[in-house]
Amino acid sequence: MAAPESGDGNNGAARMVTLISSDNTRFEVEAAAASLSQTLQLTILDGGGGGGDGIPLPNVDSATLSKVLEYCIKHAPAAANGGAPNATAVDRAELERFDNEFVNIDQSVLYSLIMAAHNLEIEGLQSLVAKKVADMIKGKSPMEIRRTLGFPDPTPEEQAEMNAHMLEYGWAYE
């Protein structure tokens, strides 16, 4: 990755950037890790986030941001290798183990991660959380999906509508 003119990260110590969560917690993280976010990448390439400035992230709270950065730090080396073509099987298995562990979390955290991954445009994390939610609801009926995701129980009208739409795709339930 080409370093910006003002950057000093290519010699020895990696360049660091500072991210500021919605509750004003500052996170210092390697630029390479933060750059997994498409949203942040441009700012960082422009030399932002260095020194005392920091990049404010008003949509992400500190708990979520620390979780997101945990993901980014773990995945940054592989991403720097251009999708890790020369990664060993061990490395890949380790990442996979990490991912599985990573999304084994409370639903509210998972929800925050979906939003953060979307806002920050972190492709790998988006896929990971989408896959997690898909696995949670796979094979379930509409009611079970609602319960799994903590939707309130449907009103009688909503229930009737659900039943009506069930008929439309009768083939899918056989």
Partner 1 sequence: MEDDTETAVPDDALAGIFGRLPPHTLAACRCVCKAWRALIDARGLLLPHALPHALRGIFINYIDYPRPGLFFARPSASTRHGIINGNDLLGYLPASTSSDISVLDHCNGLLLYGGARELYVVNPATRQWERLPPLPADASEYLAYLVFDPAVSLHYEVFLIPRVPHKKSRRFRLKKKDKKSRRWYLKDDTAPATSFNRSWCFSTDNSASCAEVSTEMEHSEEQAKFSPSSLQVMEEAVLYPTRQASSSSSSWEGHFDDPYRLMEWPPPSCTVQVFSSVTKRWEQRSFVREGEAVGTVEDVRLDSFPWMYLGPRRRYAVYWRGALYVHCQAMHEYFCTFIIANYFCRLSMINPKYKVIATPIGIEEGKSGRSYLGKSENGVYFATFCDYYLLRVWILNESCDNTKWVLMHDIDLESSALWAALHLNNHRKIDGPWILDEDNNDSDDVNNVVPTPYFEWDSDDDNVLGYEDKDEYEHAYIYLLGFHPYKEVVFLMASYIGIAYHLNSSKVQYLGKLYPRDYDLSSVRGVHESFPYTPCLLGGLSGIRQ
Q: Contact residues for partner 1 (CB under 8 A)? A: 107-108, 111, 114-115, 117-118, 126-127, 130-131, 133-134, 137-142, 145-146, 149-152, 158, 161-162, 164-174
Rounded least distance, CB 127 to partner 1, Å: 7
* 99 vs 64: CA distance, rounded Å: 16
* CB closer to partner 1, 54 vs 142: 142
* CB closer to partner 1, 101 vs 168: 168
Rounded least distance, CB 153 to partner 1, Å: 10
* 78 vs 68: CA distance, rounded Å: 16
Rounded least distance, CB 148 to partner 1, Å: 9
Rounded least distance, CB 122 to partner 1, Å: 12
SS3 14: coil
* CB closer to partner 1, 10 vs 148: 148
> Taking a C-beta distance cutoff of 8 angstroms, is the pair 65, 25 a contact?
yes
Which parts of the chain fold into alpha helices (H)?
Answer: 31-34, 38-45, 62-80, 89-102, 107-120, 123-137, 142-148, 156-168
* CB closer to partner 1, 14 vs 143: 143
* 79 vs 30: CA distance, rounded Å: 13
